[in-house]
Amino acid sequence: MITRPSSTTELTQLMSEIFLNRQNKVTKISDESVVNAIFYAVAKVAQKAEKDIAITESRLFPDNAYGEYLDNIAKTFGIDSRKGASGSSAYIRLFAVEGTEYLKTENTFSGNSGVIFELSEDVIVGPTGIAYAKVRSQDVGSKTNIDPFGISNVNPAPTGHQSVLNEYAAIGGRDLEQDELFRQRIKNNPNIVSKSTISQLIQLYQTINSNVLDVVKEGIGDDGRLVLALVPQNGADFSQTELADILEQSADYVSITDLKQFGESFEIKLKNIDWETIDIDFRIDLLDNTDPDIVRKNIQVALNKLVDFRFWSVTKKVEHTDLLTIIKNIDGVSYVPEMFFTPKTDLSISETRLPRFRGFIMRDMEGNVISDSNNVLNPIFYPNK
């Protein structure tokens, strides 16, 4: 905030100092004197003036605004209002016989919360008997942010299926666009007139599909077309239908060189961003009377703040020591041995990828997987080594 409202004491002292420096008739101002009362009255008026100035600034500058003031700024400058609710996304770990197939159009996943998730693409379990799959919620809202192990059922269960769970919480579900993202969109909105730039395409695609967060240029593909990767607000991949709709509806606003040639495909190719998945495996010693479920949730919340793909910069990297330090500093954690911590090195993230936590295995000091209170996690599928 540009204007910082001062306290009444600060303003009174400031006026007293100026008054004493500008004349020599009065040399002392006592607390209950007439002069001090006058200065105090003026200070109260000045304080209210500073408050009104600060409020006005919050209605003019996005950096100083929040809540309804951000909504008013967007309305004043003709910017789309807050985007509506969106669903969550997560990685699930599938345990099944080799060759077991999970179909995007047939199999859905759920748990005790009642939220139903669908696959982003078909999955076939390999010879290891384990496969990670990306899912997105069918419903929308913050209620779709499911805790770890909140996804435990598949319907219908294919032949060969053994177990399913989400080691990491489902994230990205929201009721309304948060202040941080709304503020960022307001500040970047003038880029809509920056023709033939990535910034213009971001604003254009966000207008067409509210789940678009960013656009990453990946270069020229094998077919000679410009490849652009879309970053979703909630981490859920766009369907091929959604990508085609964005491309079609943006045709009237892009450069003529990016349009269809001779009735064939666009010169621009849209795809989903590639994720740099992070799997965490560690041993932990908890304090007495500590609930492992609460510790697990708090660790994942803290890790999400460190690696938030919505505000990720290409200059960053995921440092091994940062991950370990975050886990050690969680309430209820006594000790985390570094020698059993994975990943063991810093992770450099490619400029065309974004980090995302996928696996999360918490073990006791003997290497046994710490189960959850609802017995959804079956440690039998996890080897000690």
Cβ 230 vs Cβ 246: under 8 Å: yes
**Amino acid making up residue 209:** N
Q: For residue range 355-372, list pLDDT tens digits in order.
A: 999 999 999 999 888 887
260 pLDDT band (50/70/90 cuts)? Answer: low
139 pLDDT band (50/70/90 cuts)? Answer: very high
Residue 26 has what pLDDT?
82
Residue 76 has pLDDT above 90, yes or no: no
Residue 262 has pLDDT above 60, yes or no: no
Angle made by CA atoms 99, 103, 106, in degrees to the nearest 5: 135
Domain 194-272: which CATH number of 1.10.490, 1.10.1760, 3.30.300, 3.40.50: 3.30.300
Residue 122 has what pLDDT?
93
Residue 252 has pLDDT above 90, yes or no: no
3-state secondary structure the chain: CCCCCCCHHHHHHHHHHHHHHHCCCCCCCCCCCHHHHHHHHHHHHHHHHHHHHHHHHHCCCHHHCCCHHHHHHHHHCCCCCCCCCECCEEEEEEEECCCCEECCCCCEEECCCCCCEEECCCEECCCCCEEEEEEEECCCCHHHCCCCCCCCEEECCCCCEEEEECCCCCECCECCCCHHHHHHHHHHHHHHHCCCCHHHHHHHHHHHCCCEEEEEEEEECCCCCEEEEEEECCCCCCCHHHHHHHHHHCHHHCCHHHCCCCCCCCCEEEEECEEEEEEEEEECEECCCCCHHHHHHHHHHHHHHHCCHHHCCCCCEECHHHHHHHHHCCCCEEECCHHHCECCCCEECCCCEEEEEEEEEEECCCCCECCCCCCCCCHHHCCCC
Residue 80 has what pLDDT?
80
Per-domain boundaries in the chain: 8-58, 89-165, 194-272, 276-381
Residue 286 has pLDDT above 70, yes or no: yes
